[in-house]
Structure 1
Amino acid sequence: MTRFDADDPKARRKLFAEAVTAHRTRASPFLTVEVEHDPDVDGEDAPAPWVQFADQTFNMDLTEAELERAKTLLTDFPEFRIDRMESPEEAEGTNLRIIARSDANRLAAFVDRVFVEVYGRDDDYRAWVAAV
């Protein structure tokens, strides 16, 4: 990989696909994609959203509303399935794990749509591959 951020849909999806390929090639423990904190979308005290990928599994933390949007998004990805949902008492949300066995481009499209449709980012949001 030669770049680590992008801010338009085509460039982001290419970046995410390259990150998945690098993750698989390197056999790294995980891949993490992050976006900037937006107080208007996330709230003042909430952390910026992130998506992690490892062992053919997406991992993300979601509010109740975000969880419902994620379930709706999954209808467009029938080859993906929810593996586990955990809502510890001390947490305000749910940690969602999704089994996703697919090619890098399909995985990249999913990540991009998660940030737009689940986390409510505008189409021109900037994402960073924070770990590969």
Structure 2
Amino acid sequence: MGRFSADTPKERRKLVVDAIGAHRERESPFCTLTVGHEAETDVDDSETETKNDDGETDRSESELAPPWIQFGDRTLNLDCTDEELDRLKALLGEFPAFKIEQLRSPEEAEGTNVRISAKADVNRIAQFVERTFQEVYECPKSATVWAVEV
């Protein structure tokens, strides 16, 4: 695999295809795709920061950590807030070959971990990943997606 990031819809889908191909070729347990922090420059910091009792700025872990999606063994794995989970379920209606297999909401974590069976070809998986970053996580259209683990 020669490149590890992409910032246009077409290139991001190609990156997903290449990352899954490299993952399968290497027989690794999974590959991980994430949106780079630089993509968050389109967000106004005042929308995500709050002041604590000491007047210091607080940001929740979910606001600091970029969205990520893992793929392995024909399964997608991702974390969602309640609102993102609602958007994910709506998106899944357009992808009948993708089904939620497991929802886990540990008490010590905010949000839900979602495992989705992805019984589709790699191009359809790439389309789903692209739409998930755009519609579920509401990433900017110019967001950079990184293949951080293959």
TM-score (norm 2): 0.83
Q: Alignment partner of 2:24: what SS?
A: helix
Q: Which amino acid aligns with 2:117?
A: I
Percent identity, aligned pairs only, is: 50
**Alignment of 1:131 onto 2:128:** no
- Compute the displacement of 1:36 (Å): 2.3
Letter in 2 for 1:129: A
Superposed displacement of residue 69, structure 1: 0.4
Who is 2:90 aligned against? Answer: 72
CA contact (8 A) 1:63 1:93 kept: yes
Counterpart CA distance in 2 for 1:29 and 1:75 is 28
Q: Which residue of 1 aligns with 2:20?
A: 20
1:48-87 matches, cutoff 5 A: 48-87=66-105
Which letter maps to 1:103? Answer: D
Instruction: Please state how far the C-alpha of 1:3 moved relative to its aligned partner.
Output: 0.3
CA distance in 2 between counterparts of 1:124 and 1:103 reads: 25
The runs of 5 or more residues in structure 2 that have no matched partner are 49-58
Residues 18 and 104, structure 1, Cα contact 8 Å, conserved in 2: no
Match of 1:103 among 95, 113, 121: 121
Q: Which moved more, 1:122-131 or 1:43-52?
A: 43-52
For 2:133, the equivalent position in structure 1 comes to 115
- RMSD over aligned CA atoms reads 1.6
Q: Deviations over 1:39-59 (max 9, x none)?
A: 838943321110011111100
Bigger Rg over Cα? 2
Unaligned runs of 5+ in 1: none
Number of matched residues? 132
The residue number in structure 1 matching 2:35 is 35
